[in-house]
Amino acid sequence: MLWDALTLQLGYNATLVAIGATLLGISAGVTGTFLFLRKRALVSDAISHATLPGVCLGFMVLVALGGDGRNLIGLLAGSAVSAWVGLLCMNWLTRHTRLAEDAAIGAILSVFFGLGIVLLTVIQTMGVGRQAGLEGFLLGSTAGMLWADALVIAIGGAATLLLVMIIRRPMTMVAFDPEYAAARGLPVHRIDLAMMGLVMAVTVVGLKIVGLILIVALLIIPPVTARFWTDRSDRVVLLAGLAGGLAGYLGAAMSASAPNLPTGPIIVLVSFGFFALSLLLAPVRGVLAAILRQLRFQRRVHIRQGLLALAQGQKIYEPLTLRLLRRTGLARADGVATDTGKARAAKALRDEKRWEIVRADQMQEATAALYDGLRDIETVLTHDQIAEIDRQIGGPQEVPA
């Protein structure tokens, strides 16, 4: 079943859902990257919750006009208007009052969502409201998705992605350094509003698949996942789109292959799975890489301390230090230094004396700040500088290579 779902062989509806979820994941990942880099992730939460009153009001208007209220375009248009009003209210509170952004987000989120729940309750008392299925907009509902629904989602996701690509450069500049962007003459406030507008568009498009509660995960988790793998913003955008699209595709396939599994939550869980793998396995920022760096650091510390002990004729009692010295051929099993170990130990002791001279010289304050007990002095001083220090120490001097 899973293989059939992955190869789009599980039926018409499953194919539509998989394609729509993939396009939504790509656009959400790319758009959410700029929100993440701008450090405004919670804004998406406020925008998503602000869509619920619009969905309900859109349904009421459609019913009042003689329809059944289930027209997806009408419902998404209502949610877009509601989300935009919520965004403007939040922006006004932030700019014209003393409320911090997080307080404004909390106020807008709770008020709009509360209003939406009240309207949803009112709709349930209506004759046509009981079969409206508006609850699906909370967590997403893909059962019975029509070609027209998939087309709306695909066009909305593609249009959002195109707009992101057009204004990605000013959004990137504002995300990293809004003061510099303002100095360059960029309208930071308008770019922020455009960024929020794109997030709103993705939120509205994604209501049918993942719902207003879970869309924030699809906007934030893929960029966070991508950030583990690269430091370049353009690659973060690319990887976030890839992670979001793949999560949408795999989540939709898994949901279609098993009975009664909701599509939206499964997509979010798959996205979190990518995040967890990146957290553990990313080559630079991952937990495993950090553990390996720490182990390598501890190994260097033990070897350095062991060499200094050998140079000063001290006996090594630490089992790990002795084991590392033996493994690297610097000492024998009884703790006596080998010929190579003696040379390395003498070098380590002399480097410590050299660093003492550098750290005592106020003219070398910047260089002395680099001392960490492990750094080779040859990486920060020239051969002539080292030779001058050796003359102050006295004793045999090394011949530059």
284-311 pLDDT, tens digit each: 899 999 999 999 999 999 999 999 999 9
Boundary residue ending a domain (221, 247, 273): 247
Taking the model in full, what pTM does it have?
Answer: 0.79
The strand pairing partners of 331, in sequence order, are 337
Q: Please indicate, yes or no, whether residues 183 and 297 belong to a single structural domain of this protein.
A: no
Which residues have C-beta within 8 Å of that of residue 294, sequence separation ≥ 6? Answer: none
Q: Please indicate, yes or no, whether residues 242 and 325 belong to a single structural domain of this protein.
A: no
Give 370's DSSP letter: T
Q: Please indicate, yes or no, whether residues 235 and 292 belong to a single structural domain of this protein.
A: no
Domain membership of residue 77 (yes or no) is yes
Q: How many domains would you assign to the chain?
A: 2
22-41 pLDDT, tens digit each: 888 998 999 999 989 888 88
Q: Please indicate, yes or no, whether residues 90 and 165 belong to a single structural domain of this protein.
A: yes
Task: Give the domain range for residue 239.
Answer: 2-247
Per-residue pLDDT at 292: 94
Domain membership of residue 280 (yes or no) is no
131-152 pLDDT, tens digit each: 556 766 776 666 556 677 777 7
The average pLDDT across 377-390 equals: 89
Domain membership of residue 272 (yes or no) is no
32-68 pLDDT, tens digit each: 999 898 888 888 888 888 888 988 888 888 888 877 6
Helix (H, G, I), strand (E, B) or coil at 86: helix
Per-residue pLDDT at 111: 92
Helix (H, G, I), strand (E, B) or coil at 365: helix
Q: Please indicate, yes or no, whether residues 211 and 325 belong to a single structural domain of this protein.
A: no
Per-residue pLDDT at 130: 53
Q: Please indicate, yes or no, whether residues 242 and 127 belong to a single structural domain of this protein.
A: yes
Q: Please indicate, yes or no, whether residues 212 and 110 belong to a single structural domain of this protein.
A: yes
Among 237, 197, 226, 250, smallest CA distance to 84 is for 197
340-363 pLDDT, tens digit each: 999 999 999 999 999 999 988 888
Amino acid, single-letter form, for residue 265: P
Res. 399: pLDDT tops 50: no
Q: Please indicate, yes or no, whether residues 178 and 38 belong to a single structural domain of this protein.
A: yes
Q: Please indicate, yes or no, whether residues 222 and 342 belong to a single structural domain of this protein.
A: no
Per-residue pLDDT at 211: 77
Q: Please indicate, yes or no, whether residues 42 and 179 belong to a single structural domain of this protein.
A: yes
Q: At 62, which CATH number?
A: 1.10.3470.10
**In whole angstroms, what is the distance from residue 344 CA to residue 310 CA?**
10
Domain membership of residue 165 (yes or no) is yes
Domain membership of residue 261 (yes or no) is no
Domain membership of residue 275 (yes or no) is no
